[in-house]
Amino acid sequence: MKITKDLYQGSLALLTDYYQLTMAYGYWKSGAAEKEGVFNLFFRKNPFQGGYSIAAGLEYVVDYLNNFKFEEADLAYLRSIKDSLGKQQFEEGFLAYLAQMKFSCDIDAIPEGSLVFPQQPILRVKGSLIQCQLLETPLLNIINFQTLIATKASRIALAAKGDKVLEFGLRRAQGIDGALAASRAAYIGGVNSTSNVMAGKLFGIPVSGTHAHSWIMSFDTELEAFEAYAAAMPDNCLFLVDTYDTIEGIKNAIKVGEQLRAKGKEMIGIRIDSGDLAYFSNIARTMLDQAGFTNAKIVASNDLDEHIITSLKLQEANIDVWGVGTKLVTAYDQPALGAVYKLAAVKKADGSWEPRVKVSQQTIKVNNPGIQQVRRFEKDGKYIADMIYQETDPLAEEVMLIDPMDPLRRKQVTMSEVQFKDLLKPIFRQGKQVYELPDIQTIKSQTSAEIAKLDKTIKRLVNPHIYPVGLEKSLYELRTELVLKMKKSNGIK
C-alpha cells in the first residue's frame, strides 16, 4: 500500500520540526553534513502503566522513506522563510543540496507486531548526520502513535479473553491521519475489524457495522425501523436496541428475528450502547434464549476500555462482542508514547565508531551509547529476558544483563541453555529497501504469537511484573564510563 501517494499525492519532506532544518543547515554550513552517525528510536516507559508494548508503524516508515525527497514546492517554501533580520534564512547552496539529496541511510528495525520494552531501540538509523537529523520527527510521529494504539488494542483484546473486539473510533479520532493510523495499529494489536471503511480499503482490514440510533428515530416506531432494516439487509441484522427502552428493544428485535427466520434468514444479534451493560446483557441473553435465538450475539459498546471490559467480565455479563471506539483510538489515559530519538555513535575520520551519550540528572534520560542490537532469550516456550548489547563487540557464553535504571536488578544467562534471536532486522541498506513487508494479517498473527510467549504476570493490566531488560555488562560499563567522562569534561560535579 503506497500511503504517501495514495493519501497525500505529494512530498512529505516538510513533515518535520523547524529545528531539524536549522540543524541540517548548520551541518551543511560547518562541513559536517556527510559525517556519519547512528541514532536510536526508543521509549522510556511502557504506556498505560503496563508491562509490555507492541511495535507498530514500520510499513508507514518504509513508505515514507521510499518517497523521501525535497520537491520544488518544498524548496520554494523554504526559500520564503526569513531570518530575524528579514533576510532569506537558508542559502541557495543549501537548497540546491536538499534538491539533489537522495535517501541513503541504513535502517534496522524491530518488525511490527513484536513485543518491545523500554530502552530498546525499536528503530536504528545509520547514515549522514544531515539525513539522520531530518528523519527524526517523521519517524517519531509514525512510531510513537501506532505503537501506542497497538499496545492499547492488545490490552483490550486481552481483557476480552478471546471475544471479538470491533474498533469504531473513526468519528472520535484525532483527525483523518489519526483515524487511519489508529485503525491499522488497533488491528495489529488485536481487534478483529473496524468501522473505518477507508482503512478497510487501504490496509485490508475487515469492516463491520450495522445501524445507529438515527435509523430508528427516522421511523415512526422502533419495530418499523427494525423491519425496514431487515428487508434491506436480511443477512446483516444486528439490531441496536436501546434507542427508547432496552427491554422493549430486545422484544422488537426478537419479533423481527422471528420474521427473518420464517423467510429462511437468521438474526445475527443485538447491540446495547447504554445503561447497565451487565444487567441488560444478562436479561437480553435470557430473553433471546427463551425465544429460541441461542446463537444470537450480544454486542456491547458505550465508552469501553480494558478496565471496564475486565469489570464486566467479573460481573459475568453475557456479552459476546465488544465495540470499542473513543478510548482505543485516542489511547485514553495516555495521549502519547513519548518515544525519543538519540544520537548513539559518530564515525571518526579513521572509520571507527565513537559511542556518544547524553548526560542528565535523571537516570532515565541518559541514553545508551554505541551501535546496539537487542537479543531476546526464550526458554520452555516463554520469553525470559532481553539484552541490549553492542553489535560490534563479541559476546561471551555467559552474559550478565544489568538494568540501566536499577543496576541491582541483574540477570545472568547462559547462551547454550536458551534459545535466542536478535530483534533488529535490516530494512534499508544505503537507501535501498531490503526488507519484504509482511501483509497485515501476518503482522496481526505475529502479535498473537508474541503475546502467547509472555508470562501472564507481565500481561496483568494493573501492577504487572517487570520483564527483565538489561544492558550487557560491558555496554553498561561503557555507559557509566562515558557519563563520568562527559561530566568531568563539562565541569559537572
For residue 485, the model assigns a pLDDT of: 87
pLDDT tens, N- to C-terminus, the chain (493 residues): 566 666 676 789 999 999 999 999 999 999 999 999 999 999 999 999 999 999 999 999 999 999 999 999 999 999 999 999 999 999 999 999 999 999 999 999 999 999 999 999 999 999 999 999 999 999 999 999 999 999 999 999 999 999 999 999 999 999 999 999 999 999 999 999 999 999 999 999 999 998 999 999 999 999 999 999 999 999 999 999 999 999 999 999 999 999 999 999 999 999 999 999 999 999 999 999 999 999 999 999 999 999 999 999 999 999 999 999 999 999 999 999 999 999 999 999 999 999 999 888 788 889 999 999 999 999 999 999 999 999 999 999 999 999 999 999 999 999 999 999 999 999 999 999 999 999 999 999 999 999 999 999 999 999 999 999 999 999 999 999 999 888 777 766 6
Cα–Cα distances in angstroms (integers) from residue 410 to residues 96, 413, 416, 429, in the given order: 52, 10, 19, 35
Cα–Cα distances in angstroms (integers) from residue 303 to residues 222, 273, 450, 456, in the given order: 24, 9, 28, 26
Rg (CA), the chain: 26
Residue pair 13/78 in contact (Cβ under 8 Å)? The answer is no
Phi first, then psi: give them for residue 227, nearest 5 degrees: -65, -40
> What is the three-class DSSP state of 393?
coil
Residue pair 229/218 in contact (Cβ under 8 Å)? The answer is no
d(CA 459, CA 467): 10
* Pairing label, strands 164-167, 193-194: parallel
> What is the three-class DSSP state of 360?
coil
For residue 489, the model assigns a pLDDT of: 74
Q: Give the CB-side neighbour count of residue 317, counting CA atoms within 13 A.
A: 26
Place of cell 456479552: 319
d(CA 301, CA 305): 10
Place of cell 542559502: 91
d(CA 371, CA 263): 67
For residue 361, the model assigns a pLDDT of: 79
Find all residues with CB under 8 Å of 307, minimum gap 6, and list them. 159, 461
Strand spans (E) along 380-456: 382-390, 398-403, 406-414, 419-422, 425-429, 432-433
Quick one: DSSP state of residue 82? B
d(CA 72, CA 92): 13
CA-based angle 42:44:46, to the nearest 5?
100
d(CA 394, CA 221): 75
Cα–Cα distances in angstroms (integers) from residue 407 to residues 106, 463, 472, in the given order: 32, 21, 11
* Domains, the chain: 3-146+345-489 (3.20.140.10), 151-329 (3.20.20.70)
Residue pair 374/388 in contact (Cβ under 8 Å)? The answer is yes
